[in-house]
Structure 1
Amino acid sequence: MAATVTLGVIGSDAHVVGITILEQALSAAGFEVHNLGVQTSQEEFAESAATHDADAVLVSSLYGHAEQDCRGFHETLQEAGVDTVTYIGGNLAVGQSDFEETRRTFRDMGFDRVFDSETSPEEAIRALEMDCAHSERDTERVTA
């Protein structure tokens, strides 16, 4: 069974090229992709993830204001009953000079994986395959 992902660009960001490339790469790799497009609210991510029983939620942001757009994101997912792996990637902070600091910020916000704008779709796909396989093993253990 193919893993299901919810993908979109959060907040007021209108950059579409990255998620289009990622959607195509994920689909080619066998994922079921629900692309929410650009300027997506936290609530839209949560609703889609809940509706489609997403194995992962992928958030993209390129305009540098992801920290403010993602405040409370995991609480929004939790309120919608969504408990899944979360990824964020792109140009996440204006004037970002040390990506490891940015990574820590988003990990502290609850994101499982944080990628910079130079990350290839293949790298994200490898991480997703590993995380989704791990999640399926956990489910099997619980239901067995």
Structure 2
Amino acid sequence: MDNKTIVLGVIGSDCHAVGNKILDYSLTDAGFNVVNIGVLSPQEDFINAAIETNAGAILVSSLYGQGEIDCRGMREKCDEAGLEGIRLYVGGNIVVGKQNWNDVYKRFKDMGFDRVYPPGTSVETAIHDLKEDLN
């Protein structure tokens, strides 16, 4: 795995592109090789891009509230595709409504995500975590 290569995208039927572009620019500026698959991306697109680029991490963004549904089974699909150990990150408005964050966090951790970010998390936090996790 190339610990400097990151696959970034917006999962499912979500078309929120602005935050995705901000993440792309910020992560690139921080020294990462960002493979941005864009918006409206199924799990398979993230996985295929990670395989093709030998990425060290996948960053999933979701703002339309359906991230929990869109992300189910992603860790298992990564493992089946030979990506055991790839770091999985997810953030944004990943669930519908105002749910208890600790419950949301636990559900995504149980789904196999290494880092789970609430709405409003700064890109600096993600950069710090990526550097720490991929070092």
Rg comparison, structure with higher value: 1
Matches for 1:1-144 after TM superposition, within 5 Å: 3-83=4-84, 84-133=86-135
Task: Give the residue type in structure 2 aligned to 1:128.
Answer: L
CA deviations on 1:30-86 (whole Å, 9 max, x unpaired) are 000000000101111110001101111000000001111111111211122112110
* CA offsets 1:103-143 (integer angstroms, 9 cap, x no match): 1110000000000121000000000000001xxxxxxxxxx
- Give the length in aligned residue pairs: 133
Instruction: Report the Cα distance in structure 2 between the residues aligned to 1:96 and 1:35, rounded to whole angstroms.
Output: 29
Task: Structure 2 unaligned segments of length 5 or more: list them.
Answer: none
SS in structure 1 at match of 2:75: helix
Structure 1 portions without partners, runs of 5+ = 134-144
More helix by share: 1
Deviation of 1:97 (Å): 3.1
Contact 2:68–2:108 (CA under 8 A) maintained in structure 1: yes
Q: Secondary structure at the match of 2:120?
A: coil
Counterpart-to-counterpart distance in 2, 1:79 and 1:15: 29
In 1: Cα distance, 2:114 partner to 2:121 partner: 15
TM-score by length of 2: 0.95
Partner Cα separation in structure 1 for residue 8 and residue 55 of structure 2: 10
Counting aligned pairs with the same residue, the percent is 48
Looking at structure 2, the residues matched to 2 and 69 of structure 1 have their Cα atoms a distance apart, in angstroms, of: 25
Query: Hey, what's the Cα distance between the residues in 1 that align with 2:101 and 2:20?
Result: 21
Equivalent-residue separation in structure 1 for 2:120 and 2:50 (angstroms)? 26
RMSD: 1.2
Q: CA deviation at 1:7?
A: 0.4
Whole-angstrom distance in 1 between the partners of 2:46 and 2:87: 13
